[in-house]
Amino acid sequence: MSGYRLDHGGDIDRTRPLTFHWEGKSYSGFSGDTLASALLASGVRMVGRSFKYHRPRGLIGAGLDEPNAIVQLEQGAQTIPNLKAPYVELYEGLSADPVNAWPSLGFDLLAVNGLLKRFIPAAFYYKTFMWPDWLLFEPAIRKAAGLGTSPALPDPDVYAQTSAHTDVLVVGGGIAGLSAALYAAQAGKTVMLVTGGAHWGGRLAGTSDTIEGKPARVWIEDTLRTLAAMPNVTLKARTLATGHYDHGMVSLCERLTDHLPLEQRSGPRQRLWRVRADDLILASGAIERPLVFRGNDRPGVMLAGAARAYLHRYGVIAGRQVVVATNNDSAWQAAFDLAEAGARLVAIVDARNDPSAALLDRARSLGIPVHTGMAPAAARGGRSLRGVRIGRVSREGRIEGATQTLRCDTLLVSGGWNPAVHLHSHGAGRLTLDTNLQSFTPIAAAGHRSVGGAAGDFAPAAPIPALWSISETGEPDPEAWVDFQNDVTAGDIALAARENFRSVEHLKRYTTLGMASDQGKTSNVSGIGILGTLLDRPMQAIGTTKFRPPYDPTPFGVFAGHRVGEGLRPRRRLAFHDWHSENGASLDEYGGWMRPAAYPRAGESEEDAVRREVLAVRAGVGLFEASPLGKIEVKGPDAAAFLDRMYVNTISTLNVGRCRYAIMLTENGTVFDDGVVTRLGEDHFLVGTTSGHAGAIAEALREWLQCEWTTMQVLVEDVTTCWAVANIAGPKARDVLAALEPDVDISGAAFPHMSARTGHVCGLPARIARVSFTGELSYEIAVPWRDAGALWTALVEAGAPYGLTPFGVEALMTMRIEKGFLHVGSDTDGATLPQDIGFGGIMRKKTQDFVGRRSSLRSDGLRADRRSLVGLEVTDGNPAPLTTGAHVLPATAAAPQPGEGWVTSSTWSPTLEAPLALALVERGQDRMGDTVRVWDLGTWREARITGLCRYDPEGARLDA
């Protein structure tokens, strides 16, 4: 037992006690406490085990710099690993456990690592575990590594995201931040002031310091009241600035419910703010450095500033017998405050020979013994500090001469302060070394500046002694910790330097210095100092490692925000979605759209349904929703000439009212898309694209128009979702269409295959195209999306006497394979050229250039052994279709070998009662009738190369 609570002081509410659980035991604290302050007040010393050696550890800090008190909060779906206890607000019923200790914090089996410490220094794992194989050792290493435990259940919480613009964003709610916000607000700017913690006022809150003649507490309250009353000011506590990105964007993570008892939480847990400010003011304060000396990680060694924060914010005294060791003035104030609050100050130990007379006088008046020119040589004790041995210290940090031991249970240390330059550096701001601070300060940059502690405004008039590493040997001590969480010692830094890991980045990566969950907040600058001393190079020349967002670890959930489940990418619904659902469709996602795969009846498998639907279309008439087919209007005086440049086919020769199947290439010559182009008027075309591809095609058309052929007068508009499309296909399709009483002549002669009409069906404005992907007489009827219901109802009614059968995508695919119709994306990939799919002849005939032509005619495109699209006929008597994705091998292949191509589409053909496939095969078009072997995950099939079209090759049914 060491820390204890005062009966007065601090920002806690002593009338509201709270019960919480730590390691399964009950404790009590007060409203306003953090988990750390409540544990400290309860006398809990040991709060964690270190990452590697599992050494017992106590609280060092009072904020996000805390490396030791890493906890697992709550259980089950609510659990969160690796939170820093000083940043966990206490609530009724809170339950937390230490991490990285098994079976318990007090008795941790892996503490044996500490005994082996001398044999497993930094980076030892690169030098061993190679024989016989790393895999033998890795599982044990992995189990020992890690801190907390991942949740095993889905996150029950939701997260919100929002954006904001403000004239001024002030980060940090301390005195500097409050002042900067007030100044900007009074100048009429819109101001957003955020602070990461629950409290305002920063380090000075609750102290006896005065600001503008008022006690700090009063000044803070007055300023907050003033700010809160101003309409142009937004104040946000519990809102941590996590990152500073390009063009001044700052991300904030606001914690909305984390401080509430679990049962009182509702709504989003946290909110991500993306803030743009004309002026970013960083008032993020400074972070204290520990002193580096032997045993400095014993529970009971704490930063002096942290002890002061625990006193003033929470009314907690960190220990019963307190020694303060420092190289600068700030820790003296901690000693004075604690002494005045009734703590027993054993001594102040200052490495400087001549602390100011004012400090010495004050210490004398408070009865605190002072040892100047001295520093801690070693901390004594095991799981808890029992004393500190001190001695005279040289400028280089060497303890010289005799030492004496001071009995104490608490040692408050200060090695100086580092401005918190993280956000400044995220924003590519540069740093300079302040030799008085022995630390890096920000150089003001465009759009953002630092103020207060973050700017190093506390720098003394003369340099503080650097004192990077204290040791009795004069060499960096392997028992003196620099990075507490990752167990990196001064000796490890010396080892890295000895092995030539002398770049600051090598030092970090080799030793893991600064790579822990605090990202080196208390250790990085000390590490640079020690390395600089070892190499005899100035710290500026060594430089810092890169500061990376986030400032403190931030849940992935808040970055994902609404993009979970359906919110990640909402599925698009067809115009007749409800009808499909109600009529037994099995819906599946195709290119972002939920479409009927088939309409299986009771007892039918999907395969059964597909066969029935195909046969119904072939014999009678079927109904298919084709709304996702891309529809792009292309209009203007140059529309025809433009499309000639875009398509492999010539479009300008198309007559009004006629349709043409055409393919489009990328400029790299590969097949980009195919579809039916309809000429609606002299200067007006409707470009059909594959489903789900309309946006990309429209974008490509616009890019060519805006960036290359800038003088062409053409308008491009994607109207895909303006029109709902029903496709009726089959020999009786005309009868069904006729029953809808169209106001255009639909007789075969007046409305031939590959033509289109604009008119009305069942009183609805409609575009009717006689085009076919099934190989049957087929009409695509497009009506305005809002009229979809009326059209579909009319069709179903009119079709009933003809046995109109709804069919899905899979039946359509089966029929197009029977027909040998290409499906871009299945039968082509990003390497397929037009000549590979039978468009070589059309290309040769067209004299004019078009997009992709030149690329398709490079020497590789002219190779004789290119893969070309062919049909495959199964010859092994096995009725099962070939597997799409199976590979095609030569007939002579006896064992697996690199293939000659692959199956691109495959189906059972109910019409031909045979398995059919399409394939891209080397020299395929020259090998008609050849036998090949087909290999799929070790199984072999036999097939013969055929033409593409296996059903109605003359096309008589299309022209019926």
Range 357-366 contact pairs with CB under 8 angstroms and sequence separation of 24 or more: 359/329, 359/332, 362/332, 362/336, 363/332, 363/335, 363/336, 366/335, 366/336, 366/339, 366/340
Binding mask 160-179 toward another protein (x if CB under 8 A, else -) reads -x-x----------------
Residue 235 CB partners (closer than 8 Å, separation 6+)? 193, 194, 224, 227, 228
Q: Judged by CB under 8 A, which of 853, 923, 927, 944 binds another protein?
A: 853
Strand, helix or coil at 741? coil
Is 428 among the residues that bind another protein (CB under 8 A)? Answer: yes
**Which residues 19-58 are close enough to bind another protein by CB under 8 A?**
51
Which among 241-249, 312-320, 461-469, 728-736 is the span making contact with another protein, rule CB under 8 A? 241-249
Between 8 and 118, name the residue whose CB sits nearer to another protein: 118
- The beta-strand segments (E) located in 262-305 are 270-282, 286-288, 301-303
For residue 827, the minimal CB distance to another protein (Å) is 11
Between 298 and 887, name the residue whose CB sits nearer to another protein: 887
Is 260 among the residues that bind another protein (CB under 8 A)? Answer: no
684, exposed or middle or buried, with CB in 10 Å at 0-12, 13-18, 19+?
middle
Between 581 and 586, name the residue whose CB sits nearer to another protein: 586
Is 785 among the residues that bind another protein (CB under 8 A)? Answer: no
Contact 213, 222 (CB under 8 A): no
**Which residues 334-393 are close enough to bind another protein by CB under 8 A?**
none
Residue 694 CB partners (closer than 8 Å, separation 6+)? 630, 631, 632, 718, 720
Between 213 and 565, name the residue whose CB sits nearer to another protein: 565
Binding mask 481-510 toward another protein (x if CB under 8 A, else -) reads ----------x--xx--xxxxxx-xx--xx
Contact 501, 537 (CB under 8 A): no
In whole angstroms, give the CA distance from residue 244 to residue 274.
10
In whole angstroms, give the CA distance from residue 743 to residue 542.
83
**Which residues 733-772 are close enough to bind another protein by CB under 8 A?**
none
668, exposed or middle or buried, with CB in 10 Å at 0-12, 13-18, 19+?
middle
Is 569 among the residues that bind another protein (CB under 8 A)? Answer: yes
DSSP state of 382: S
Residue 583's alpha-carbon distances to 179, 587, 612, 626, in angstroms, are: 67, 11, 16, 17
Is 460 among the residues that bind another protein (CB under 8 A)? Answer: no
Q: Judged by CB under 8 A, which of 157, 288, 337, 644 binds another protein?
A: 157
In whole angstroms, give the CA distance from residue 391 to residue 327.
14
**Which residues 267-326 are close enough to bind another protein by CB under 8 A?**
274, 276
Q: Judged by CB under 8 A, which of 854, 912, 959, 960 binds another protein?
A: 854
**Token code pair at residue 479:** 């028992």
Q: Judged by CB under 8 A, which of 360, 560, 744, 949 binds another protein?
A: 560
In whole angstroms, give the CA distance from residue 167 to residue 325.
44
For residue 641, the minimal CB distance to another protein (Å) is 16
Place of tokens 């330097």: 497
Is 138 among the residues that bind another protein (CB under 8 A)? Answer: yes
In whole angstroms, give the CA distance from residue 781 to residue 768.
5
**Which residues 604-633 are close enough to bind another protein by CB under 8 A?**
none
Between 15 and 710, name the residue whose CB sits nearer to another protein: 710
Is 86 among the residues that bind another protein (CB under 8 A)? Answer: no
Between 135 and 602, name the residue whose CB sits nearer to another protein: 135
Is 706 among the residues that bind another protein (CB under 8 A)? Answer: yes
**Which residues 874-913 are close enough to bind another protein by CB under 8 A?**
883-887, 889, 896-899, 902
Is 940 among the residues that bind another protein (CB under 8 A)? Answer: no
Binding mask 825-844 toward another protein (x if CB under 8 A, else -) reads xx--xxx-------------
Between 131 and 357, name the residue whose CB sits nearer to another protein: 131
Is 239 among the residues that bind another protein (CB under 8 A)? Answer: no
Q: Which of 863, 958, 950 is nearest to 914 (CA)?
A: 950
Which among 351-359, 647-655, 850-858, 947-955 is the span making contact with another protein, rule CB under 8 A? 850-858
Amino acid identity at 610: V
**Which residues 859-878 are close enough to bind another protein by CB under 8 A?**
859-861
Which among 123-131, 287-295, 400-408, 628-636 is the span making contact with another protein, rule CB under 8 A? 123-131
Which among 231-239, 376-384, 525-533, 704-712 is the span making contact with another protein, rule CB under 8 A? 704-712
- The beta-strand segments (E) located in 227-282 are 233-236, 239-244, 249-255, 270-282
Count, residues near another protein per rule CB under 8 A: 128
Residue 827's alpha-carbon distances to 587, 864, 884, 922, in angstroms, are: 23, 19, 10, 14
Q: Judged by CB under 8 A, which of 624, 807, 935, 951 binds another protein?
A: 935
For residue 467, the minimal CB distance to another protein (Å) is 23
**Which residues 507-526 are close enough to bind another protein by CB under 8 A?**
509-510, 512, 517, 519
Q: Judged by CB under 8 A, which of 9, 81, 657, 759 binds another protein?
A: 81
CA gyration radius for the chain? 38
For residue 133, the minimal CB distance to another protein (Å) is 8
Is 151 among the residues that bind another protein (CB under 8 A)? Answer: yes
For residue 566, the minimal CB distance to another protein (Å) is 6
Between 214 and 546, name the residue whose CB sits nearer to another protein: 546
For residue 310, the minimal CB distance to another protein (Å) is 25
**Which residues 654-673 are close enough to bind another protein by CB under 8 A?**
667-670
Please, which residues bridge with residue 160 across strands? 271
In whole angstroms, give the CA distance from residue 727 to residue 595.
14
Which among 14-22, 104-112, 783-791, 857-865 is the span making contact with another protein, rule CB under 8 A? 857-865
Is 146 among the residues that bind another protein (CB under 8 A)? Answer: yes
Q: Judged by CB under 8 A, which of 14, 92, 111, 155 binds another protein?
A: 155
Residue 517's alpha-carbon distances to 253, 421, 526, 917, in angstroms, are: 17, 17, 17, 56
In whole angstroms, give the CA distance from residue 9 to residue 719.
69
Contact 658, 651 (CB under 8 A): no
* Helical axes 216-229 vs 175-186, angle rounded to 10°: 40
